[in-house]
Amino acid sequence: MTDRSAYPTNRAAGIKLSKLTKKFGDVVAVDALDLRIEAGQFVTLLGPSGCGKSTSLHMIAGLERATSGTIEIGGRLVSEVPPQDRDIAMVFQSYALYPHYTVWENIAFPLRAKRRRTSKAEVEERVRYASSVLGLDGLLDRYPRELSGGQRQRVALGRATVRQPAAFLLDEPLSNLDVQLRLEMRSELKDLHERLAATMVYVTHDQAEAMVLSDLVVVMNGGVVQQAGTPLDCYNNPANTFVAGFLGEPGMNLLPGRLERERLFVADGVRVRVGEPLPSVVGRAVLGVRPENLALGAAGDDGITGTVRSVELLGSRSLLKVVVDGQTVTASVPPVVGVGPGEEVTLRVTDSAHTRVFDADTGSSLTVSPPAPLPGRHDTLHRVTP
């Protein structure tokens, strides 16, 4: 067992970003980002390519100068402080290990830099601690070329750990690994965070990573924060159609139509009773329903009626794709569905409490109250006020 007390958890610091903005010429990469990260929190900046997540991280690290706005780490204004004096450690997707140094030497490297002057005994202790937390004990004498990709990334994490930084900044650290290794490293990273109780800011476009790892997910698009919340909240209560479609594999089905009285949503091929409560809105709107909240119904049922385009067997589930008025709707159903392409089917909503309604013009959610949590999803502590 690793002695958790060996890592000084009080080194973890909070981070506050205020109206943080970065422009590259005419391109606004990050637009007035406000974010408060509590000490010890795991926060993920999540979004599609080009949404501004790496630029945000680079500004926190000091690798990119903000056009405007401020950054505080541990209550200290660091906007003008050089990267090496910000008390942070970065881990990138490329491991950037020194090939002619052993694992031990690579991990110890930051402590041996002249300006740090860490005693030999302390270097020894910190490397031993990092190595035991990361399962590198048997590999300390090897060179990077003698390691797998996952092991190399663990060494890079070890090198960050020995510095005992106020915050770890991680930029897609798992994206160079193959799928299996990526899943393993994801669990290890979660474990590392729990053991160190360190502040970690993580950038990824992989929503599963964000869901598994984070206390707080910050979904970005076009340089603008779309929603900041716990993974469960963002998944269950997307603030807008972007978040609804981006989270989930596949994302929420979004169907334009009309909300009538008595919570009835209608469109060509669609007749769905939506969950309560809703603001008293009647008129054009967008219905949101997740694939796992749709099941095959009987002809004549209320629901979504269309023609089967395909059935994709995933093993434990099948994705049933149905074309409804020119738009594809996906249902996640048991593996054997008993219908095939060209057949007309009706998909019924299994629980109206999980339907969502969005404004047809702005895409903002009109559904006000959260539904009951989905079974099996682990809610994390909501320790932040974004």
Q: CA end-to-end span of the chain, whole Å?
A: 36
Residue closer to ligand ATP by CB (options 11, 53) is 53
**Tokens 């796992």 belong to which residue?**
292
State in angstroms the smallest separation of the CB of 22 from ligand ATP: 8
Residue 238 amino acid letter: P
* Selected binder of ligand ATP within 8, 10, 19, 27 (CB under 6 A): 27
**CB of 55 vs ligand ATP, minimal distance in Å:** 3
Q: Give residue for tokens 């160190």.
A: 196
What count of residues does the chain have?
386
Task: Name the segment binding ligand ATP (CB under 6 A); options: 44-52, 108-116, 280-288, 308-316.
Answer: 44-52
Does the protein bind ligand ATP through residue 251 (CB under 6 A)? no
| Shortest distance in whole angstroms from residue 46 CB to ligand ATP | 9
Tell me which residue has its CB nearest to ligand ATP.
Answer: 54
CB 161 within 8 A of CB 133: yes
- Give the residue among 230, 93, 149 at the shortest CA–CA distance from 238: 230
Distance of closest approach, residue 201 Cβ to ligand ATP, in angstroms = 13
Site string for ligand ATP, 88-127 (x = CB under 6 A): ----------------------------------------
* Contact criterion met (CB below 8 Å) for 18 and 34: yes
List binders of ligand ATP among 210-249 (CB under 6 A).
none
Within residues 46-65, the interface with ligand ATP by CB under 6 A covers 47, 49-55
> Between 53 and 154, whose beta carbon lies closer to ligand ATP?
53
Per CB under 6 A, 24 contacts ligand ATP: yes
What gap in Å lies between CA 156 and CA 95, rounded to an integer? 6
- ∠ CA(221), CA(226), CA(230), 5° rounding? 120
- State the minimum distance, in angstroms, from the CB of residue 151 to ligand ATP: 25
Q: At what angle do helices 120-133 and 103-112 cross, to 10 degrees?
A: 130
* Total residues interacting with ligand ATP, rule: CB under 6 A: 12
Q: What angle do CA 159, 163, 168 make, to 5 degrees?
A: 80
Interface pick for ligand ATP out of 128, 142, 205, 348 (rule CB under 6 A): 205
Order across the sheet with 27-37: list the strands.
Answer: 27-37, 15-24, 68-73, 76-77
Give the residues lining the site for ligand ATP (CB under 6 A). Answer: 24, 27, 29, 47, 49-55, 205
